[in-house]
Amino acid sequence: MKSFQDKVVVITGAGSGMGRELALQLSALGAKVALNDWNGEMLAQTLQAVEAAGGKGMAATFDVGDQAAVFGFAEAVVAQYGQVDLVINNAGIAMERRSIANTPMEEFERVIRVNLWGVIYGTLAFLPHLKARPEAVVVNISSIFGIIGYGGQGAYSTTKFGVRGFTETLRQELHGSSVTVTCVHPGGVKTGIIRNIPGEASPAKDKFASNFEKIARTTSEDAAKTIIQGIQNKRPRVLIGNDARLMDAVARLFPTFYERILLRKNRVPGG
Ligand SMILES: NC(=O)c1ccc[n+]([C@@H]2O[C@H](COP(=O)([O-])OP(=O)(O)OC[C@H]3O[C@@H](n4cnc5c(N)ncnc54)[C@H](O)[C@@H]3O)[C@@H](O)[C@H]2O)c1
């Protein structure tokens, strides 16, 4: 998809971070944006920013883990604009640093509901509409943690590997059709993702957030630009940041030895 002029673009999780930037940049390139977030206030701010810059859009507040709400949104977007050309399943939540053994089942379920079911629902709800277009794109946001496992991020990594498996399979099944499928693997991107982890603020969460903000190198503006270039160039797989490119190369060259490298800096006892 070379041009976004008059294209209808759906973006989930558009209230903050990369989703908000994608909304602003795609709208500046001429797209009509259909935005979602479960945080209505932040979502309204994104839509206001889009409109203040002369763009057009609609917004709906719901949880992407709610199947009926996602399918309802697809109908609402088609009722409003008559078509959908690009869907970016971006909404996602992080988790606090915890071993798999110490992760409460409810946290596993919450992360899987948002990060994996959200992507599956978002893809399947829009796919029939995308297939009706002469050219269309599905973009699913995985992570570098969809390429490598990482101690303390078991539930998150489970979902991001799941997104990758789902997306790579879908791409094979849609080969030769009008729908292009892209899987995105960001490294550290400076967004509010850690501060946005559901639940109470705590000193541990605060420390995790400030450590993350120190090591995350890519801005959300640059991340959104890279994703947009990936869409324009029909890239099946988009890595964001030197950290993601390096870890991807190491994991491909040394599919298990990479774990020893990580263990030098990141040890999370499993008990
Ligand atoms: N920031 C990073 O370093 C990084 C790295 C790899 C992958 N990612 C992925 O990128 C995507 C965007 O993350 P971000 O860094 O911009 O984070 P962010 O927290 O700034 O933005 C995510 C947005 O999604 C929304 N959201 C969360 N759960 C939702 C739900 N159930 N329904 C609707 N909206 C929901 C949040 O309210 C928020 O506005 C996520 O899928 C994340 O896992 C981020």
DSSP string, 83-133: ---EEEE-------SB-STTS-HHHHHHHHIIIIIHHHHHHHHHHHHHHTS
User: Candidates 11, 18, 42, 225: which one to mutate for ligand 1, based on the most atoms within 8 Å of Cβ?
Assistant: 18
Residue 101 maps to a domain: yes
Does the Cβ of 186 fall within 6 Å of ligand 1?
yes
Looking at residue 162, its amino acid is G
Residue 28 maps to a domain: yes
List the domain range (segments joined by +) for residue 161.
8-265
Residue 85 maps to a domain: yes
Residue 1 maps to a domain: no
Q: Which residues are catalytic?
A: 156
Does the Cβ of 130 fall within 6 Å of ligand 1?
no
Q: For ligand 1, atom 36, name the residue with the nearest CA.
A: 13
To the nearest 10°, the Cα dihedral for 32, 38, 44, 45? -100
Q: What is the pLDDT of residue 271?
A: 63
Tokens, residue 173:
């099944």
3 close to 126: Cβ distance less than 8 angstroms: no
Place of tokens 């709610």: 66
Low-confidence ranges of the chain (pLDDT < 50): none
CA distance 155 to 115: 10
Residue 259 maps to a domain: yes
Q: For ligand 1, atom 17, name the residue with the nearest CA.
A: 193
Q: What is the pLDDT of residue 269?
A: 86
**pTM as predicted:** 0.98
Based on the structure, what is the number of domains in the chain? Answer: 1
Residue 3 maps to a domain: no
Residue 270 maps to a domain: no
Residue-wise pLDDT tens digits, 31-73: 999 999 999 999 999 999 999 999 999 999 999 999 999 999 9
Q: What is the pLDDT of residue 200?
A: 87
| CATH number, residue 26 | 3.40.50.720
